[in-house]
Each structure stands twice: as structure tokens, then as C-alpha cells.
Structure 1
Amino acid sequence: MLHQGILDLFREDPWLAFDLLALPRPSRGRPVDRQGIAEFDAGDAHVSVRQGLPDLVLVDDESDNDNTGAVLVIEAQRRSDPEKRWRHPFYQGAMAARYRRPTWVIVVSFSRAMSALLRSWSEGPPPRVDALVLDVDSVPPVLDPNAARERPTAAVLAATLHAQVADIRATHVALRAIRHLEAPRRRRYTAILMSAILKHQRSELVQELIEERYIDEKEDEFLAIERLSGTYHLGHEEGREEGRQEGREEGRQEGREEGRIMERRAVLKDMIIALLEVRGLPPSRTDEAHIRGEDAIDTLRTWAQRARHVPSPRALFERASDPER
């Protein structure tokens, strides 16, 4: 959830990195999500960069002038990944060739080791990594309540970075700053903030939310986190829309029933991942793919219960039943 939440902040506020780093915006337009797809010809070879390689690609290409506009390749890194030494230059070159615009790589790094690698790759033998790095050392915490209210995206991003080093001062400020926002947006920001908190500080934050009347103190802590995280609401809405589409296309009872099943699956998968993250056990890409690839409702329910107490994401799958689908 933290990874996806960070990308959503940039979809909402594309120039966030430039403003946080006090750099001039490279264009006057508003970059929009192009879903990371690039196709271009290189001589006789056709090269395709498919969705899912760069985490997010935002493009401002409204002008006919190739020297104006901008392409923003955005990556969120929770762990050190030496493979990005080779991928980031490729992303930058591929997107520049596709859109024929100045292209920036922006990395939100939650790992000081990853940040150190990125900076070291900017020097030495080619290909060099030319990236704007947003991390705990380059982005100061937003501690001014007025500034946090004026730009909640910046407040939330800064808070998540500093929460990774156990500094949740900015998280407290951000939580107060977003209280005036409409409920769906407030829930989404709260989910991002919650997923960034270290395990040993979770109780402190939940207690603050109780005192701030975000939740009823009689609620179970994890149920409160589930509700606050927005995963139920998000999964419910996504599943309901899938159900509507299925119903329109099929026009039969089977379509409506399949929509309800898809809704339950979406809710359970998001809930499992959210529970692991707020417990300080973010699943690896392999484990998340395992969760999202599971379609058996009974298995997902079992995993949702286990997610409250398992010692690791991998333990989620041990001795899981394999009921009929």
C-alpha cells in the first residue's frame, strides 16, 4: 500500500519532486499518467517498454516543440536494489525516445543504502544514473501546520520518508492537516501514513487517532487500522464497479454473482497487504504477487485472519487450505 500510495501522490501532484527539492519546474503544463508504456523503433529493431517496468510515467507533451514539455519517470524504492544501476538509464532513454521530451528519473527512496547507491551511480563509468532522489536526507519534514494544510501531498510524502527512521513528528502534523479534507481523500492519505509507520510506533499513532476521534477506543486495534487504511472502502468500490461492468456485459445473474465474488476478493487482498504493512511486515514482490494471484475466497479469509499475527509474510501461506474455487 505504501508503494502504490506514493505513486498516487505524484499522479495527483506531478511537480512534487521539483518543488520539494527547490528546483524550477521544467514546463508549465501538467504531466499526466501514461502508464509506463513506450514503443519506438531503433533501426530495424522494434523495442517495447511495457507497463510495469517503470513504476509510473507522467508526460507533458502538449507542445509541438520537442524542447518543451517533460517526461517524469517515477520509482518508489523500499529496499536497496543494485539492478536499478542498469534499469534507470534504460527507462530514461526509452521514455525520452518515445516522447521526444526532456526526461527526468525521480526516485523516492525509503532506504539510505539505496540512496547511497543512486548517488554513487551518478559518477564513474557509464551509463550514469541521473536521478532526482527524494529521501529522508533531501526532503525535510513538514512541521508547519499551515504548510501541511496548504499542500497535504508534500506533508504526507515527507512524513512517510521520516517515519522510516522512526521520526513521526511530521506524521502527527500531517494527520491534523488532512482532517479537513473530504472523507475519501482523507482515508487515502491516512492509509499512506499508517503503512509507513514502524511497528513499535504503531500503538502510539493509533492512540493519537483515538484521542483525535478518528476511531472509537472500543474498536479492536487492527479493525480500526483496517477501517482507517481505506482498503475496505477501496476494494468495495473497485469490486462493485467490476460487478457493474460484468452485469452490463453479460446481462445475466451469473455476471452479477461473479461481480460480487470479485468484490470480496478485492477487499480481502487489499486488507491482507494493509495488515502486514502496518505491522511492519511489508510483503516482498513475490509474496504480494502470491496474495494477489489467489482467487479462493476461503483461502483469502484464512490469510486475512493470519495477517494479524504471523511473524512474517511467508508464514501466511503455511498450511493454508486449498479449497475448491
Structure 2
Amino acid sequence: MVSSSHEAMHRIFQDYPGLFSRVSEALSIPFPQATAVTVLPNDVTETRPVDRRIDTLLKIDTEAHGPFLLAVEAQKKKDPEKPASWGYYLAYLRSKYRLPPLLLVVCQDRATAEWATRPEPIGFCSWPSLTVRPIVAGPHNMPVITDPEEARADLALTALAAITHAANPDIGAILEALSTALRDVPEGVADPLVEFTAQGLGNRPAQYLWRKLVAVDLSFYKSYISEEIRDEGREQGRAQGRAQGRAEDILLVLEQRGLAVSDDVRRRVTDCDDPEVLRHWLARAVTAPKAEEIFEEE
């Protein structure tokens, strides 16, 4: 299960290894079509106690140009220390695997994306020995997919696009297109995409919109997010049932005591869904001389 927005932004490339080819096409950056993709260990820790881990590392095979390495980094905010780490990753990967490395940075806001796009020279004065120049996918260049047919044609790209556009004013239309497209595919295909999208949206308002869209057809969505929605619904139903039962108890006590219960009293009792307030009213209903006096202290 994907556990955070950061994880979703890069882990989706592990679950859908061919996704990079579609992302590069969407960004109009030509790369040869992948013929095979292998998920590699992401540990690039040195022998000294410094822990360095690339978010996701893939080995991508192409027919025309051979294999290359793709390091995918999820970047949520500007970090002046990060370009140096990226330079280390690229140099380390080139040395360890003897393959050309490529860096893809996935962002969710334009400012971070524009910062990550800037080439970072590593060297002295005007002589850079190494220049870090990542490909950046973010809200500034990822497609805005609002057509269910277009979404259906590439579900993984649509999910990643939705994640990168989490703060876009059109996110509702993007999520509706993805939700509509997912209804027509098998459960095993839809479930991970539902989860990636939910986690990738983070705590933004779009995440709650996505949950509502997912909740429309729970017989289809079987992922963990639908289980959460089901549990919330069950608990809400139980709470409503308890409140309704307590309201009926209040009215029954008043009627059994022979007190006149006006329509206003009945309406106020039955409309209340606060269990503590209802419990207080029930206690007062046992001794109140008039039905209206159960509200006296409110």
C-alpha cells in the first residue's frame, strides 16, 4: 500500500515501469521506446555511515540505443542541498552500473518545478565538471486530462497527471475523467491507481473530492480507500441509529408521563444528532414538569 503523497509520486513508476515513455512523450522530450524495464535497488549508500537512497531506480532497455538508468525523485519543495545529492546519485550510478543515468524529478507546484528545472553546474568558476540537468514533470508541463476517453487510453499517465495537478483549479474535472475511465476496467487494474491517486493528492481538498468520487460506486472499487469509506459510512450509520433511538426514548418517556409534546418539541428532539445533548435531554425528561423544560439549560 502506498503510504504518502511523496511515495505515490515516484512509486507509480515502479508499478507502471513503461510510464516514463509516456511521460517523455507528454513532455515532448524524445526518448527511444522501452523494450524492457527492471526495478533496481535504490540504495546508493557509501561505505561510510551516510545513508543515500534514490526514491525509485529503474533500468530501461531500448532496442535502438540499449539500456539506461532512470532515477525518479519526488520533490515537494525547494531544497538547496538536493542538486548536490542528485549529482552524487548520477555519478554513483554511472560508476556502479556502467550505464547512462537519467534523472526525472516529479513536482506538484510550479515554483518547485521551475527551481528543479534549472541546470546545476558542479565545478569551479566557469568550468563545470558535472552539470545536473534533470527532466522535470510538474503542473507546468504535464497534460491536463479531462476527457474520460483520453484518460482511458493511458490510465497511469492520467493518475500521475492528476497527482501533479493536485492544486490545479481544474482538478475536479481531471479526477472525474479518471474516475469515469476506471469504472470500465478490471478491479485489479483500477485498485492500485485509485490508491496512487488518493495518496498522491495528499491532504489537499482534491483528496476529499477523490474520496467522494470513489464512494459513488463502492461495488467496483475494492482498494483500501474504499474500505475506509465503507467503515466511515458504517460508523456514521451506527451513530445516526443511536441518535434516532435515543430521540425516540425521550419522546416515549414524555408521553408515558402524560406530558403534552408539541410539534416544536418533537421536531427539535428528532433533528438533534448530538448523543451527549440527547443523553442530557433524556435525563431531564424523567423529571421535567413540562416537555419544553427538557431544553431549559440549553
TM-score, with length taken from structure 2: 0.61
| Contact 1:144/1:173 (8 A) holds in 2 | yes
Post-superposition CA distance 1:174-194 (Å, at most 9, x none) = 111112233243222112222
SS at match of 1:73: strand
Match among 213, 218, 241 for residue 214 of structure 1: 218
1:300 alignment partner in structure 2: none
1:185-196 maps to which residues of 2 (within 5 A)? 185-195=189-199, 196=201
1:200–1:23: structure 2 CA closer, same or farther, 3 Å change rule?
A: closer
1:1-325 maps to which residues of 2 (within 5 A)? 1-11=4-14, 12-14=16-18, 15=20, 16-26=22-32, 28-37=34-43, 53-60=53-60, 68-122=66-120, 126=128, 127-168=130-171, 169-195=173-199, 196=201, 199-210=204-215, 212-214=216-218, 227-228=224-225
Q: CA separation in 2, counterparts of 1:114 and 1:27? A: 28
Gaps of 5+ in 1: 40-45, 217-223, 233-325
Q: CA separation in 1, counterparts of 2:76 and 2:141? A: 16
Deviation at residue 7 of structure 1 after TM alignment: 2.6
| Contact 1:188/1:230 (8 A) holds in 2 | no
SS at match of 2:36: coil
1:90–1:160: structure 2 CA closer, same or farther, 3 Å change rule?
A: same
1:291 alignment partner in structure 2: none
1:294 alignment partner in structure 2: none
Deviation at residue 87 of structure 1 after TM alignment: 0.7
Gaps of 5+ in 2: 230-298
Amino acid corresponding to residue 141 of structure 1 in structure 2: V
RMSD: 3.6
Amino acid corresponding to residue 103 of structure 1 in structure 2: P
The structure with higher relative contact order (CA 8 Å, sep 6+) is 2
Q: CA separation in 1, counterparts of 2:104 and 2:12? A: 13
TM-score, with length taken from structure 1: 0.56
Percent of aligned pairs with the same residue? 19
Deviation at residue 166 of structure 1 after TM alignment: 4.3
Task: Report the number of matched residues.
Answer: 216
Q: Greater CA radius of gyration, 1 or 2? A: 2
SS at match of 1:57: strand
1:172–1:83: structure 2 CA closer, same or farther, 3 Å change rule?
A: same
Amino acid corresponding to residue 53 of structure 2 in structure 1: L
1:292 alignment partner in structure 2: none
| Contact 1:122/1:130 (8 A) holds in 2 | yes
